[in-house]
Chain A
Amino acid sequence: MKILKRISLRILLIAILGGAIFVLALMVYFNFKQPVQNIAEPPADTASLVDKEVENINLPVRLKIPGIGVDAAIESLGLTAAGSMDTPKGPDNVAWYALGTRPGEQGSAVIAGHYGKWKNGQGSVFDDLHKLNKGDKLYIEDDKGMIITFVVRESRNYDPNADAIEVFSSDDERAHLNLITCEGIWNKAEKSFSQRLVIFADKE
């Protein structure tokens, strides 16, 4: 009887230890998990889907930025009560300013996405937006499955209350896509980051 007890106690301890290691391993794995898997660039030879001279621009449904692993659904949003562009409720989606230009139309289409950590430690879709460089590609997929390509031209920082006329409109006859997120330091009182980051891109 005593031997049996001793054996079962050891097994029990091993089991617990094994379980703990397993749990730890899982935690380590999920902590370092990438938010999205590698996104393959759309095949350049699929002529029917790649952007061409489209006269009727459709509604955007997905934003893909392979360089920083972004593949996000696009919500259509407008203004907050205070007159600022609204933002998506969660960390994964991006928001297109639907009162303005459609991506691909002449003018400046604007898409915003969150930056920073959420309750469960999860990151936001535009956490790596600041890593984009001139020449990087952005892809908009519309509701008909067509892809429109944009090329990053520059990035700029703004105060949260800055006049954003150059972000929301343009004077040339071209199509632009501007991405907005936050950066800087979190201001607890304002419940806001200290800066806004805007990536300016032009239709290819």
Chain B
Amino acid sequence: MQKLNRFLIVTVAMVLMFGLTESVKAATQVPLLTAGNFAVLGGSTVTNTGSSVLTGDLGVSAGSAITGFPPGTTSGTTHSNDAVAIQAQVDLTAAYINASGQACDHNLTGQDLGGKILTPGVYCFDSSAQLTGTLTLDGGGDLNAVFIFKMGSTLTTASGSKVSLINSAQSCHVFWQVGSSATLGTTTKFKGNILALTSITLNTGATINNGRALARNGAVTLDSNTITKSTCATSSDELTNGSVNETEVTSSDIKVKKTASDYKLNSGPKKVTFTYKVTNEGDVALSDISVKDDKCDDVKYDSGDSNNDNLLDVTEEWKYECTKKVKKTETNTVTAKGTANGERIKDTDTAKVTVSTPGLPNAGSNPDEADSSLWMQIMSWFSF
């Protein structure tokens, strides 16, 4: 009996301890089941413009329309209201109910998520939620830390805003339960699984790396986005060795602006100097910069690489020049190219120089008016 008692006591103690520790963690992992195979799952439609890249399956149900693929691409399988998509919606609904049923730890109604550093838990908004700037989720060293955000109505992120994960926080454990629709502003860098009742819209250049866009009833609308479905690392090695990649994909962007020393030549052909200013509008330095003008041959680098590393850094503005004799009215175009993230990107700009020659002067005087009477001539020298 004593052995049994001891066993029971130990078991109860363990259960209690486990129960206690469990109850401290208010947010629990939301099981996605087959919905977890998808990067994008729509309810009514999925509509894409631009070269969106999805890693994961793409599907829709109960609607069946998926447009824009290509130019969009997906690494997985596309399911248009087939059995797989139907089952995924069932599993999404269960996941949505699971997330919305978890008790709220912190009510953030009316507060902007931007600038906050949050620890694991359930955060709720009575109506809408807004992110402007950077939201940091701190896993506290716990690979299993879960973050749940519940909102009564909309989720909106401002252009360029960002979700940042630190200290073992993982996208696969971040959930956004959206009571109506979610809208990510342009170039937002988002993380986590969006489970929306109605629709999800990603504006131009927004990314979810990693996470998912799963909409129950409405449309998922994409525009030049990347969405990589999240996977969970079970050891910290997987995070550091890259098996699970939580590092942000940086965007690359180049811009060139062209000006001319003279836009209007009034006396025929003349030498004009064109100046080109190239800037890096993305997050990552650009290499192999080339600047070419379609009507000016000798484009020369002038200045701008302040740290001399041969890379167009985000803070730098590189200046180039080209001089030519413009003989007749023409529009010429400059193309600037650079490489980052394994792709070669470019931008163009134009300048129009108008050349006109004046007409010959009317340098004659009317001899008729010179006919004068003798009297006029006398009067004229009187007025000397």
A interface with B by C-beta (< 8 Å) = 23, 26-27, 30, 78-79, 82-87, 91, 95, 97, 99-101, 107-108, 110, 112-121, 124, 126, 158, 160-165, 167-169, 171, 180-182, 186, 188, 191-193, 196, 198
Alpha-carbon distance A107/B363, docked complex (angstroms): 22
Contact A116 B267 (CB under 8 A): no
Q: Do A168 and B364 contact each other (CB < 8 Å), given the known contacts A27-B377, A99-B266, A99-B267?
A: no
Contact B360 A158 (CB under 8 A): yes
**B358 partner, pick from A97, A107, A126, beta carbons under 8 A:** A97
**B362 partner, pick from A23, A84, A99, A113, beta carbons under 8 A:** A84
Which residues of B have CB within 8 Å of A27? Answer: 377-378, 381
Alpha-carbon distance A181/B363, docked complex (angstroms): 5
20 residue pairs A–B, Cβ–Cβ below 8 Å: A27-B377, A27-B381, A83-B358, A85-B360, A100-B266, A100-B267, A110-B267, A116-B364, A116-B370, A120-B370, A121-B372, A124-B365, A126-B363, A160-B362, A161-B359, A181-B363, A182-B363, A186-B364, A186-B368, A192-B362
Contact A164 B364 (CB under 8 A): no
Contact B369 A118 (CB under 8 A): yes
**B370 partner, pick from A115, A119, A163, beta carbons under 8 A:** A119
Tell me, yes or no, whether B342 is within 8 Å of chain A by CB. Answer: no
Q: Do A165 and B360 contact each other (CB < 8 Å), given the known contacts A116-B365, A121-B372?
A: no
Question: Taking the nearest CB of chain A, how far is it from the CB of B230, in angstroms?
Answer: 66
Q: Do A84 and B366 contact each other (CB < 8 Å), given the known contacts A100-B266, A100-B267, A121-B380?
A: no
Contact B365 A115 (CB under 8 A): yes
- Starting from the known contacts A164-B357, A171-B269, A182-B363, 13 additional A-B residue pairs (CB-CB under 8 Å) come to A23-B378, A79-B266, A84-B361, A86-B361, A95-B361, A99-B267, A116-B370, A121-B372, A160-B359, A164-B358, A167-B360, A169-B269, A181-B364
Alpha-carbon distance A174/B269, docked complex (angstroms): 14
Tell me, yes or no, whether B268 is within 8 Å of chain A by CB. Answer: yes
**A180 partner, pick from B268, B361, B368, B376, beta carbons under 8 A:** B361
Q: Do A169 and B380 contact each other (CB < 8 Å), given the known contacts A160-B362, A180-B360, A182-B362?
A: no
State which residues 250-273 of B face A: CB under 8 Å: 266-270
Tell me, yes or no, whether B19 is within 8 Å of chain A by CB. Answer: no
Question: Taking the nearest CB of chain B, how far is it from the CB of A95, in angstroms?
Answer: 7
Tell me, yes or no, whether B367 is within 8 Å of chain A by CB. Answer: yes
Which residues of A have CB within 8 Å of B369? Answer: 117-119
Nearest B residue to A113, CB-CB: B363
Alpha-carbon distance A135/B57, docked complex (angstroms): 87
Nearest B residue to A30, CB-CB: B381
Alpha-carbon distance A124/B357, docked complex (angstroms): 26
Chain B, interface residues (CB within 8 Å), range: 20 to 34
Nearest B residue to A27, CB-CB: B377
Which residues of A have CB within 8 Å of B268? Answer: 100, 165, 168-169
Contact A196 B367 (CB under 8 A): no
Nearest A residue to B269, CB-CB: A169
Tell me, yes or no, whether B356 is within 8 Å of chain A by CB. Answer: yes
**A97 partner, pick from B267, B366, B367, beta carbons under 8 A:** B267
Question: Taking the nearest CB of chain B, how far is it from the CB of A177, in angstroms?
Answer: 14
Question: Taking the nearest CB of chain B, how far is it from the CB of A37, in angstroms?
Answer: 16
Contact B363 A180 (CB under 8 A): yes
Q: Do A115 and B364 contact each other (CB < 8 Å), given the known contacts A168-B267, A169-B267?
A: yes
Alpha-carbon distance A160/B368, docked complex (angstroms): 20
Contact B366 A87 (CB under 8 A): no
Which residues of A have CB within 8 Å of B363? Answer: 87, 112-115, 126, 180-182, 196
Question: Taking the nearest CB of chain A, how far is it from the CB of B270, in angstroms?
Answer: 7
Question: Taking the nearest CB of chain A, how far is it from the CB of B225, in angstroms?
Answer: 53
Which residues of B have CB within 8 Å of A167? Answer: 360
Which residues of A have CB within 8 Å of B270? Answer: 107, 169
Alpha-carbon distance A120/B372, docked complex (angstroms): 7
Nearest B residue to A162, CB-CB: B360
Alpha-carbon distance A191/B365, docked complex (angstroms): 8
Which residues of B have CB within 8 Å of A91? Answer: 365
Contact A116 B266 (CB under 8 A): no
Which residues of B have CB within 8 Å of A112? Answer: 361, 363
Alpha-carbon distance A171/B327, docked complex (angstroms): 9
Which residues of B have CB within 8 Å of A108? Answer: 267
Question: Taking the nearest CB of chain A, how far is it from the CB of B355, in angstroms?
Answer: 9
Listed residue (B268, B366, B367, B368) with the most chain A CB atoms within 10 angstroms of its CB: B268
Alpha-carbon distance A78/B361, docked complex (angstroms): 10
Contact B370 A164 (CB under 8 A): no
Alpha-carbon distance A22/B266, docked complex (angstroms): 54
